[in-house]
Amino acid sequence: MSAYKSDFLRVLAERGFIHQVSDADGLDARAAAGAITAYVGFDATAPSLHIGNLLTIMMLRWLQKTGHKPIALMGGGTSKIGDPSGKDTSRSLLTTEQIDANIASIRKVFARFLDFGAGAIMANNADWLDRLHYIPFLREVGRHFTINKMLTFDSVKLRLDREQPLTFLEFNYMILQAYDFVELQQRHGCILQMGGSDQWGNIVNGIDLGRRTNDFELFGLTTPLLAASRTVVPATAITVCSVPASRTRSPTASRPGRCGRLPALTSDHLPVPAARTSVAGPSRSRITSATSSWRHIR
């Protein structure tokens, strides 16, 4: 779509955020007509977020700045499984206490980007996933998914192509993520799920589930992945940033070699899709200040 009417999509397009949209005309019309509610999901598998999360965080920020309602969905439930997307092996299983501590830490990060006093919401999918009953869930939700289709999604197919094991636990992840979308629509009137381009299949699953179960009109939007300049691995697998100051060596220090300098970025705009980071090898897993990347992306 060449020209968006809504401020929200126009701003995202100007900054190179948009990779895919399920129905650009329909979403643009809804966003231009009035306030919409949208969400991005974040699993709490660590006490901080990665540099790859910055794009989706900024989508939420711009959503609120253009008059809409953002939801940061914490995966208190799905973090007990772990998203298999882009992973060759299963994630280590975390305890409920570890997940809760991670969520508390990550909330401090979001408080810097979203205004929770002005309508932004931080939800936790453990509030509904932990209460599901297995047999009723299979009958009401599981029947809308076919193994044939699930095997075609990258999160499954790539793992199997590499002859790496995929557990039944992980195989259920895409169903739970789809269910999250429907649940957020029922609870908060959420009509849009956003995420990185690697989440497209999971987002489409949620759109389809909402249509099949409740005749909802839902939308999906993805952003390009930030990737390391020397590899094709998403930056989310490489470096961590945007953590509370207490977790960093200096809350104001700029460490471009450790959090990743983004040479194609200016202080005002994101680049065109396929922006790359330059990540120093020995220290690439170091937790650094949000300031290091915030000055590039805003």
Give the integer Cα–Cα distance in Å for 286 and 230: 18
* Bridge partner list, 56: none
pLDDT tens digits, the chain, 298 residues: what are they?
558 999 999 999 999 999 999 999 999 999 999 999 999 999 998 898 888 888 999 999 999 999 999 999 999 999 988 766 555 555 678 899 999 999 999 999 899 999 999 999 999 999 999 999 999 999 999 999 998 888 887 778 877 888 788 888 888 888 999 999 999 999 999 999 999 998 998 999 999 999 999 999 999 999 998 876 554 444 444 333 444 444 444 333 333 333 333 333 332 333 333 333 333 333 344 555 554 544 445 5
Among 5, 18, 3, 1, CA closest to 195: 18
The confidence score (pLDDT) of residue 262 equals: 34
Question: What is the CB neighbour count within 10 angstroms for residue 275?
Answer: 21
Q: Do residues 195 and 56 touch, judged by C-beta distance below 8 A?
A: yes
The 3-state secondary structure of the chain reads: CCCCCCHHHHHHHHCCCCCEECCHHHHHHHHHHCCCEEEEEECCCCCCEEHHHHHHHHHHHHHHHCCCEEEEEECCCHHHCCCCCCCCCCCCCCCHHHHHHHHHHHHHHHCCCCCHHHCCEEEECHHHHCCCCHHHHHHHCHHHCCHHHHCCCHHHHHHHHCCCCCCHHHHCHHHHHHHHHHHHHHHHCCCEEEEEHHHHHHHHHHHHHHHHHHCCCCEEEEECCCEECCCCCEHHHCCEEEECHHHCCCCCCCCHHHHHECCCCCCCCCCCCCCEEECCCCCCCCEEECHHHHCCCC
Take residue 183 and report the two structure tokens written for it: 């649940």
Q: Do residues 142 and 150 touch, judged by C-beta distance below 8 A?
A: no
Question: What is the CB neighbour count within 10 angstroms for residue 68?
Answer: 21
The confidence score (pLDDT) of residue 125 equals: 97
Give the integer Cα–Cα distance in Å for 11 and 15: 6
The confidence score (pLDDT) of residue 254 equals: 33
Give the integer Cα–Cα distance in Å for 289 and 298: 15
Total-model pTM? 0.77
The confidence score (pLDDT) of residue 223 equals: 95
Whole-angstrom CA distances from 220 to 8, 24, 38, 43, 200 are 14, 9, 9, 19, 8
Q: Which residues contact 143 (CB under 8 A, 6 or more apart)?
A: none
The confidence score (pLDDT) of residue 161 equals: 82
